[in-house]
Amino acid sequence: MVKGTIARAAGGFFTVYTKTGEIYQCRARGNLKRDNQSLMVGDRVMFIPPLDLTELENNVSLAEGIIEELLPRTNILNRPAVANIDQLVVVMSLKQPSCDWQLASRLLVGAEKEGLHALLCLNKVDLVEVGELAEIEKLLHPFPYDILLSSAISSRGLSSLVDRLKGKCSVFAGPSGAGKSSLLNALQPGLTLKTGSVSAKIKRGKHTTRQAELLSLDFGGSVVDTPGFTRLALADLKPGDLATLFPEFREYSRGCDFRDCRHLTEPRCAIRQRIGDQINPLRYEHYRFFMDELTKRQEVY
């Protein structure tokens, strides 16, 4: 058997890359399906290449390999559905469509849950006036993650983005129309990924990327281009765990009077005392909203 990495999954077929650069189309062995081991982009697997199957299974097409085993994962994101990645690049457009800050926070919470390094890439900066950009910077101050301003049109931030992607397996995630594929095309023109426009009616991007796909980068590393989305549930989270997934809370939460402080209405809460200084007001607003969402969901169950 050969070790490989799933680069694409569609219609029950999996495109698998080997370390030496060979590419195979594969199907999954039936026992993987019976054991509910769903395969996803980024999974490391053991498979039998097509040419090795002729003597084993005469009824198997020579054009298809067989995935026999799913190797242990280091991490997993459920949406976008990818595994074994090093960092999450949250791509948000500043205009056309306007930035969904809450969705950005949801994605960053998911990265924290899986122990992933994350950064916020604010794209289409070429569409924003200097005064508008100053207001955005004010809105996000302070912010616990690195922020990168980018534009596929003006090439702003592309060299910095290359430095962040080099040597890592990254995933680009964000809403449709944010410019994920356009950025990747600008970073490596040979990719020729399909790009789309923004709907004038609903002010959202039109879906162009249909499946997640792992792409090799000429300058080193790889990136997963993913379909855009506008909704994201906080899956498998308990209300008491949420604060630990806001990194800006960690340093100060030990100063709260109550050991189990949820930073909502408790007296002498060290987090609420720092809102506007060390804690960004918008991020805290998102925290309160997520906490309410998780609490209501727990009550239903």
User: What domains does the chain contain, in order, with CATH numbers?
Assistant: 2-72 (2.40.50.140), 77-225 (3.40.50.300), 239-300 (1.10.40.50)
pLDDT at 229 over 70: no
**Which of the four pLDDT bands, split at 50, 70 and 90, describes residue 205?**
very low
Confidence of residue 207 (pLDDT cuts 50, 70, 90): very low
- Mean pLDDT confidence for 214-228: 89
If you search the block for the tokens 């800006």, which residue do you land on?
Answer: 248
What pLDDT score was predicted for residue 195? Answer: 56
Q: What is the pLDDT of residues 126-149, one digit of tens each?
A: 999 999 999 999 999 999 999 999
pLDDT for residue 208 is more than 90:
no
Comparison of pLDDT for 233 and 66, the residue scoring more: 66
Q: Are 157 and 133 in contact (CB under 8 A)?
A: no
Rounded distance, CA 257 to CA 236, Å?
28
Angle between helix axes 180-187 and 158-165 (nearest 10 degrees) is 90
SS3 271: coil
Which residue in this structure is represented by tokens 């959202």?
A: 204
Q: Residue 206: is its pLDDT beyond 50?
A: no
pLDDT of residue 198: 44
- Mapped onto helix, strand or coil, the DSSP state of residue 22 is coil
> Is residue 41 within 8 Å of residue 6, measured between CB atoms?
yes
User: ∠289-285-263 over CA atoms, to 5°?
Assistant: 85
Let me know the angle formed at the C-alpha of 287 by 282 and 290, rounded to the nearest 5 degrees: 125
Calpha distance 120→100 (Å, rounded) = 12
Q: How many residues does the chain have?
A: 301
DSSP H/E element including 213: strand 213-216
In the chain, count of helices (H) and strands (E)?
Answer: 7, 13
> Tokens representing 172?
């680009």
Does the pLDDT value for residue 204 go beyond 60?
Answer: no
Average pLDDT over residues 17-38: 82
- Structure token pair of residue 68: 């026999």
